[in-house]
Structure 1
Amino acid sequence: MRLSTVILPVRPWHSGGRDEWLRAEQLGFHTAYTYDHLSWRTFRDGPWYGALPTLAAAAGVTGRIRLGTLVTSPNFRHPVTLAKELMSLDDLSGGRFTLGIGAGGQGFDATALGQTPWTPKERADRLGEFLPLLDRLLTEPSVDAEGAFYSAVEARNIPGCVQRPRVPFAVAATGPRGMRLTARYGQAWVTTGDPKIFETGTPEESREALRLQLEQLGKICAEAGRDATELEKVLLTGFTPDRGAPLESLDAFVDFAGRHIELGFTEIVVHAPIPDSDFASDPAVFERIATEAPAQLAGVRPA
């Protein structure tokens, strides 16, 4: 089981931000991710820094921990410029970068460039074109493409990624279209659970919804000729009916994580504490989870 963390880009680099990334490595987390947004929900009126520059800075002060976005979306990105930045981040990190990517949603990112918010179908259509083009841009030295939404003319990415054939893609998807993209292009699959039961559901209902998602992913992979066991299955916590309860104690987290590992998840991601926010938690408990939970969960296997 991999235990990873999300560090939201809300602290200035020289006033706590740098130390937080260093501490994540010291605590032994597998990966430290950050959200790739222009702003996000309750943090809208406070500090919020850019994901890719933050990850570049983190690459320069760490040496072991993997780094990544969770997740990037087409809302304000273009495959051509993003590919160049990803290739550079992979180089800066010495091949430690993972791209979390999804269709995005409504919110600040969806309108910051002046566009009308896309419907769920439009977001899925765009991701369906964005991801294949990004795959080409990161694996071919020069790309020409003309699509309905994204085009490239002699877009060059030489020498390519440190990781071969390219940086890994962790695709966030809960529906069949996104899961088909995962089966075709992903090295990992990401979910936050079933948003329809976040407010009113129970932990038991959430686990059943996740079991059905994993089952659907397995079927779609089989249809695509892909072995679903090749994919890492990543659960980003904090968005199931349990909310912050798993971070209330070491025992609570071990119970929560163990139940989800038994479902088939191979990576659990927890948010680094942010006081007075939706992600407030006890830093001492968070550090115990990072340092003690992996050993306690080592023997847990999918049921």
Structure 2
Amino acid sequence: MRLSTVILPIHRWAEGQKIWRRAEDLGFHAAYTYDHLSWRSFRDGPWFGAIPTLTAAASVTQSMRLGTLVTSPNFRHPVTLAKELISLDDISGGRITLGIGAGGSGFDATALGQEAWTPRERADRFGEFVPLLDRLLTEDAVTHEGTHYSAVEARNIPGCVQRPRLPFAVAATGPRGLRLAARHGQAWVTTGDPKLYEEGTPEQSVQALREQGKRLEAACEETGRDASELDRILLTGFTPDRNTPLESVDAFVDFAGRHAELGFTEIAIHAPIPDSDFDTDPAVYERIATEAPAQLA
């Protein structure tokens, strides 16, 4: 079981760089950030861009993996995103993972002036976005004319440092998204079942995640993929127990152990942010980072 963290892009870099450096010092496998234009309760406060933040983080860390959880088509185009990712992978020395999902109906959905897409429209776009991005990151030149996205001799030389391209961690729970994870993903990401967030129980959440895992395995079988080839990442903070797993090292080890039994290979916890949904004790957070992995080995 690998332990990673999520550092929201809310700090000016003079302060933010200390948090990214500290994450590496604590031994986290990876540090991710959200790729949004703004997000929920942070909408009226500082919020910086994911790609510049990760570029800066790459310059102040040496070995920790870096990435997005998650990027979506809400305000991205595959051609420009591919160029940024190839550059970021080069700057980081091949340490980037792209967490990618279909997006939602939050602030990003209408920031460019468009009407919010329906779930079906998001799935349609995602279904075209991911395969095109895959090609853009693996081929020197790509031409594609699709329903939603096009590319005309889009060149991406020399390609990614990681070969054949940087890994995709595909966030999905529905059948179409899970098939994309099976075809194109090196990892699958979930936050659990959002319907259980308010009134569900931890036991119901575990069962829902078990069922999601079974659907992933079915999608892999359908596409001829060995499901064991995919890492499984749980982004915490959105299951019914909220921040309970971060109350102590023992609580976290118990939580992580139950999810390891479901096949999860990586758990990502949020770096503490006072007076927010992620307001946890910094001392406990650091103890989890340094003590829990040995107990989960």
Using the alignment, how far apart are the partners of 2:161 and 2:199 within structure 1? 45
Counterpart secondary structure, 1:263 = coil
**Residues 178-197 of structure 1: matches in 2 within 5 Å?**
178-197=177-196
Deviations 1:153-199 (A, max 9, x none): 11000000000000100000001100000000000000000001111
Could you list the structure 1 runs, at least 4 aligned residues long, displaced by more than 6 angstroms after superposition. none
What corresponds to 2:25 in structure 1?
26
Partner amino acid, structure 1, of 2:4 = S
Q: Counterpart of 2:10?
A: 10
Q: What is the match of residue 87 of structure 1?
A: 86
Cα shift at 1:220: 1.0
Counterpart code for 1:11: H
Match of 1:258 in 2: 257
Partners in 1 of 2:282 and 2:199 — Cα distance?
28
The SS at the match of 2:99 is strand
3-state SS in 1 of match to 2:234: strand
Number of residue equivalences = 297
Q: Which amino acid aligns with 1:184?
A: R
* Identity of matched residues, %: 78
Q: Quick check: 1:131 aligned with 2:130?
A: yes
* DSSP-derived class of the 2:157 partner: coil
Which residue number in structure 2 is paired with residue 301 of structure 1? none
1:142-291 map, 5 Å: 142-291=141-290
Q: Which blocks of at least 5 consecutive residues in structure 2 are unaligned?
A: none
CA distance in 2, matches of 1:264, 1:131: 24
Secondary structure at 2:294's aligned position in 1? helix
**CA deviation digits over 1:100-153, x for unaligned, max 9?**
000000011000000000000000000000000000000000000000000001
Cα distance in 2 for residues equivalent to 1:202 and 1:108: 28
Helix, strand or coil: the match of 1:154? strand
Q: State how far apart, in whole Å, the 1-side matches of 2:131 and 2:230 are.
A: 18
Cα distance in 2, alignment partners of residues 267 and 97 from structure 1: 16
TM-score (norm 2): 1.00
Give the alignment of 1:48-63 within 5 angstroms.
48-63=47-62
Matched to 1:24, the amino acid is A
Please state how far the C-alpha of 1:96 moved relative to its aligned partner. Answer: 0.2
2: distance between equivalents of 1:144 and 1:215? 36
Aligned to 2:32, the other structure's residue is in SS state strand
RMSD: 0.4
The answer for the alignment partner of 1:295 in structure 2 is 294
CA distance in 2, matches of 1:258, 1:184: 28
Measure, in 2, the Cα distance between the counterparts of 1:77 and 1:270.
25
How far 1:219 sits from its partner (Å)? Answer: 1.1
**Alignment partners' CA distance in 2, 1:81 and 1:176:** 28
Aligned counterparts of 1:197 and 1:69: Cα–Cα separation in 2: 25
User: Post-superposition shift, 1:259?
Assistant: 0.4
Unaligned runs of 5+ in 1: 299-303
Query: Structure 2: which amino acid aligns with 1:84?
Result: K
C-alpha separation between the residues in 2 aligned to 1:112 and 1:144?
A: 28
TM-score (norm 1): 0.98
Distance (whole Å) between structure 1 residues aligned to residue 215 and residue 183 of structure 2: 15
- Distance (whole Å) between structure 2 residues aligned to residue 34 and residue 160 of structure 1: 23
CA displacement 1:49-78 (0-9 Å, x = unmatched):
000000000001100000000000000000
